[in-house]
Chains A and B, each alone.
Chain A
């Protein structure tokens, strides 16, 4: 499944109005730990294709979204269900740790 790149225009439709659970990866080009997590996020998107939407927020391009969600360290992963944040986790971690939060 394709990973959606979020911005303030598509955020409402892609995340808040989404019926599936959404995993958002807040990242930046200059963040090494974020780059190391990218393949893990890709794997999750593939494995959970049926019941999970995976999305990314490039914080350099979307400072407003990072601020709105109080992101103060990257990578930050936030899980949204029915428009509401239900879990978040920060930093490099195993795929299983993120799957546990879904």
Chain B
């Protein structure tokens, strides 16, 4: 059992871990070691680097700094968060229990541009298998995604739905759970169709498939995906936090790009600091 589990190892996540660790809390950082920061060619607007620094170097410095401060780092992919007296963090490989969570996985930059997605939200399009599987008892459903997160959502739906298909929308299915017997359609999707409810998928090759529900699980589970499942308030895709970076769920914090606002390192560092100082304040 940890005091704090931080999900994400960019500037917000690592800073929050540093401040929490300083307060003698037991801290674990879980991340897939992919941060948007690594893609920044040259950063010349961040304090203290007279000649600028590459995003990759700054990211690696942060990891090294955390290691030097004896912060435990784990490479894994988080697919779900549950709450039973404490938080349970489910990853592809294991489960971890913690008193509090800091979400810092960045913002979801993959936007879904399929016609009908917005229109059928709550009418066949869902973002949470665990919440909405119940409504698709004995029906044909699909998961839109191509990674471990999509597979996790598929496993939630399998016992309930009549059939579950993975829609990769042109991508290749990459998963490391080695689950067999999965129906996969890799064709690109053009549109989701229906009247008052979702009824059909139309693919780019003009073929169609009848469907009652589609669960969106693209890429890796983002902070807002995880926050939504546990009941935190999301507005316009960003997690709502108070001035202490606490979400609407007690002991669940969020910092960095996933809370919206200015997508800058300085802001991520400030919010990480705030979260690390605020988490479990009253113990």
Binding site for B on A (CB under 8 A): 28, 31-37, 59-60, 66, 70-74, 76, 90-94
Contact of B231 among A59, A71, A92 (CB under 8 A): A92
* B234, A72: Cβ atoms closer than 8 Å: no
- The list of the 5 closest CB pairs from A to B, nearest first, reads A36-B231, A33-B231, A32-B231, A90-B122, A72-B135
* B134, A59: Cβ atoms closer than 8 Å: yes
Chain A: minimal CB distance from B258 (Å): 16
Chain A: minimal CB distance from B144 (Å): 16
Chain A: minimal CB distance from B64 (Å): 37
* B131, A35: Cβ atoms closer than 8 Å: no
* B232, A92: Cβ atoms closer than 8 Å: yes
A35-B231, A37-B231, A94-B233 in contact; A73/B249 too (CB < 8 A)?
no
Asked if B123 is an interface residue, CB under 8 A from chain A, the answer is yes
Asked if B229 is an interface residue, CB under 8 A from chain A, the answer is yes
* B231, A72: Cβ atoms closer than 8 Å: no
Chain B: minimal CB distance from A1 (Å): 24
When distances are taken between beta carbons in the complex, the residues of chain B under 8 Å from A66 are 135
Asked if B96 is an interface residue, CB under 8 A from chain A, the answer is no
Contact of A33 among B123, B131, B134, B196 (CB under 8 A): B131
Asked if B230 is an interface residue, CB under 8 A from chain A, the answer is yes
Interface string of B104-132 (1 = CB under 8 A from A): 00000000000000000111101010011
Say what secondary structure dominates the interface of chain A.
loop
Contact of B132 among A36, A72, A92, A94 (CB under 8 A): A72
A36 vs B132: C-alpha distance in the bound complex, in angstroms? Answer: 16
Which chain B residue shows the least CB distance to A28? B134
* A32, B230: Cβ atoms closer than 8 Å: yes
When distances are taken between beta carbons in the complex, the residues of chain B under 8 Å from A36 are 230-232, 248-249
Chain A: minimal CB distance from B208 (Å): 21
Asked if B158 is an interface residue, CB under 8 A from chain A, the answer is no
A92 vs B124: C-alpha distance in the bound complex, in angstroms? Answer: 18
A33 vs B228: C-alpha distance in the bound complex, in angstroms? Answer: 7
* A32, B83: Cβ atoms closer than 8 Å: yes
When distances are taken between beta carbons in the complex, the residues of chain A under 8 Å from B228 are 33, 91-92
When distances are taken between beta carbons in the complex, the residues of chain A under 8 Å from B99 are none
A-B contact pairs, 12 of them (CB 8 A): A28-B134, A32-B131, A32-B231, A33-B229, A33-B230, A33-B231, A72-B123, A72-B132, A72-B135, A92-B233, A93-B233, A94-B240
Give the A-B contact count at a CB cut-off of 8 A: 61
Chain B: minimal CB distance from A25 (Å): 14
Asked if B267 is an interface residue, CB under 8 A from chain A, the answer is no
* A70, B131: Cβ atoms closer than 8 Å: no
Chain B: minimal CB distance from A63 (Å): 9
Contact of B135 among A34, A73, A91, A92 (CB under 8 A): A73
Asked if B197 is an interface residue, CB under 8 A from chain A, the answer is yes
When distances are taken between beta carbons in the complex, the residues of chain A under 8 Å from B196 are 70
In this complex, which of B135, B230, B234 has the most chain A Cβ atoms within 10 angstroms of its Cβ?
Answer: B135
When distances are taken between beta carbons in the complex, the residues of chain B under 8 Å from A71 are 135
A32 vs B230: C-alpha distance in the bound complex, in angstroms? Answer: 5
When distances are taken between beta carbons in the complex, the residues of chain A under 8 Å from B124 are 72
In this complex, which of A31, A74, A76, A92 has the most chain B Cβ atoms within 10 angstroms of its Cβ?
Answer: A92
When distances are taken between beta carbons in the complex, the residues of chain A under 8 Å from B128 are 33, 73
Chain B: minimal CB distance from A70 (Å): 7
Chain B: minimal CB distance from A55 (Å): 20
